[in-house]
Structure 1
């Protein structure tokens, strides 16, 4: 790996970028845009209060037609201050630090690959670097869909499977909130005048659990919040759920039922809403053809790659579900996503830099 790629990854890693922290995200966005411009991209932003999405364009040279779209993100799950406990470190082939694997090394590999195209024919390249991917890209979906509709192929710069294999499908992923409004009352003097929102929420969660258990659906109740005092009948409560689907029919059925929840208790009100939604991306012919082309290009530079579906969700859920030729996992190999053991391979960055340059070049995906 070139020292430039390592320096780039270090520069991006020490700029902490937790989802939702607009100030820190903006600071990293400035660094990313400067690095992208130096690599040869034209840069733009789609502004959002919680963090801007970055849109980079490398104009085509000698190859016309639809662009290749690459998807990445610069937000991480790590809160500000994590670097003090989980500092940047390089030990042999292992690089550690918050976000190095998911997925700042993917951006570093791309920025190292693009200058290798200088003087070579290549198609137009479009890149979207999302600011809120780690919470389901609630503000980026429209941008991703619009760019995907005009792309010849979509490459996801998310981490690969262990060992480096690519991702050819993903579970659908929805974050949903159930909200309950009850009636407050004194819990001892007049309990029958109240309607306990927490009790109602518990019953609703049992309903949802039963619904999910009847299908191959993963359901995680991530947070519950409600009430205030033990001597007051709780007037409000809500729960945030994470749901994962392998089949679009199950996805439609469960989300449809969730939207139609009705209260068990008289005078209670129950509503549900989606906080973010990534549709199920099932492996398809277009993706299989793209994977085989990627494997052929990789073989030509001495790399061996496989591909299979993944459990986690990403912005490629959106493009793959639209039927656009999509393959993900093109960031460098490593491990420990969302864990304090997070690491990325030095050699893996060099491998992916070479692969991305080959895929975007004259004998790559547009050749």
Structure 2
């Protein structure tokens, strides 16, 4: 398993580099081909390469991704290593170890009938090219098992917040800031008004639909020169919501934002991306996984609700029961301390294999 993990990690697969993603897809395909004794389909959609195996009529979807957030060259600063039972390297935890565990788990099964394995290449950037494929497969299946990394301590992820993203552009009017500032319409000042308005939205929605909604301004820019009234300002907003009702409420409020400065104009783009993964979508599958873990002597399973989203949000939104976080145990997704606890990999593979067997 560690040899396979090393092979995947040293094949860098930054989401924005389609050629690198395609190279990694070939490595994923080769590992699956060897362990599953079956030829995959390599699907290139709008330049992004995904890998799929289907065995008979699909009833169980096993879902993962091979792209990472780490730019090409990250191996120089975050090299592959295994020391004192800790594996490190870009993407080792999120989620290449999960792919390795999945392939070895499935290789131990007497039959793969009814399984569909999909490893996408654009999850980290919102699954723009794979979303339709994911949802179509989920609608055919009775269960989706997601090989994203576990929550703290190996907990499975039974609830995820939904995600929305907005791009707010303010259009003003440029003028010389020293000679005639009064003839300008300051887009930066208008953007400040919008930042204050955004602060109230999360509180308003939480009061009406329940706690847990966050509305976070992230990237912003304004102006072209230090002696010019900014004619344009831009803001990105990240929204996380616990329920579909909260997602709808935030969307309605953001679209009612209006300028505070005479002559300024707002342009609002974006909207809901991933729906929430409701705990109800995971309830039965988590109970089955807990029973399997007990039978295997793996101790009681824990469950967690997390703010991050995955493709499991899409499968749950499509109406398919979904259990997430079945992948690696470790920490540091997207961070310098990203790592996997190697001793847990065989047991996680056993858990997955027996859970799939129980569902077949």
How does the TM-score come out when normalised to structure 2? 0.92
Q: CA deviation at 1:9?
A: 0.8
CA distance in 2, matches of 1:188, 1:347: 66
Matched, 1:53 2:68: no
- In structure 2, the residue matched to 1:266 is 262
1:127 is aligned, of 117, 121, 133, to 117
CA distance in 1, matches of 2:12, 2:75: 8
CA distance in 2, matches of 1:219, 1:349: 36
How does the TM-score come out when normalised to structure 1? 0.90
Matched, 1:282 2:278: yes
Q: CA deviation at 1:167?
A: 1.1
Q: Rate the CA distance shift 1:152–1:30 in 2: closer, same or farther, 3 A.
A: same
Counterpart contact for 2:61–2:143, Cα < 8 Å: yes
Q: CA deviation at 1:275?
A: 6.7
Q: CA deviation at 1:337?
A: 1.4
What secondary structure, in the 3-state scheme, does the structure 1 residue paired with 2:230 have?
A: coil
Counterpart contact for 2:145–2:322, Cα < 8 Å: yes
Matched, 1:81 2:76: no
* 1:102-129 Cα shifts (integer Å, max 9, x gaps): 1110001112122212xx2343211222
- In structure 2, the residue matched to 1:256 is 252
- In structure 1, the residue matched to 2:104 is 112
What secondary structure, in the 3-state scheme, does the structure 2 residue paired with 1:189 have?
A: coil
CA distance in 2, matches of 1:122, 1:139: 27
258-267 or 10-19, which deviates more: 258-267
Q: Which runs of 5+ in 2 are unaligned?
A: none
Counterpart contact for 1:294–1:365, Cα < 8 Å: no
Counterpart contact for 2:251–2:271, Cα < 8 Å: no
What secondary structure, in the 3-state scheme, does the structure 1 residue paired with 2:249 have?
A: helix
CA distance in 1, matches of 2:252, 2:113: 42
Counterpart contact for 2:106–2:112, Cα < 8 Å: no
Alignment of 1:2-21 (within 5 A): 5-21=1-17
Alignment of 1:1-367 (within 5 A): 5-40=1-36, 41-49=38-46, 51-57=48-54, 59-60=55-56, 66-117=58-109, 120-214=110-204, 215=206, 216=211, 217-274=213-270, 277-284=273-280, 286-304=281-299, 305-361=301-357, 364-366=358-360
Query: Moved runs in structure 1, 4+ residues, more than 4 A?
Result: none
* 1:214-241 Cα shifts (integer Å, max 9, x gaps): 3232222221122110112212221111
Counterpart contact for 1:261–1:271, Cα < 8 Å: no
* 1:179-217 Cα shifts (integer Å, max 9, x gaps): 122222222223222222222112112111111233232
* 1:69-105 Cα shifts (integer Å, max 9, x gaps): 1121112122222111111110122111111111110
What root-mean-square deviation, in Å, do the aligned CA atoms of Structure 1 and Structure 2 show?
Answer: 1.9
Figure out how many residues of one structure are paired with residues of the other and give that number. 352
CA distance in 1, matches of 2:112, 2:24: 28
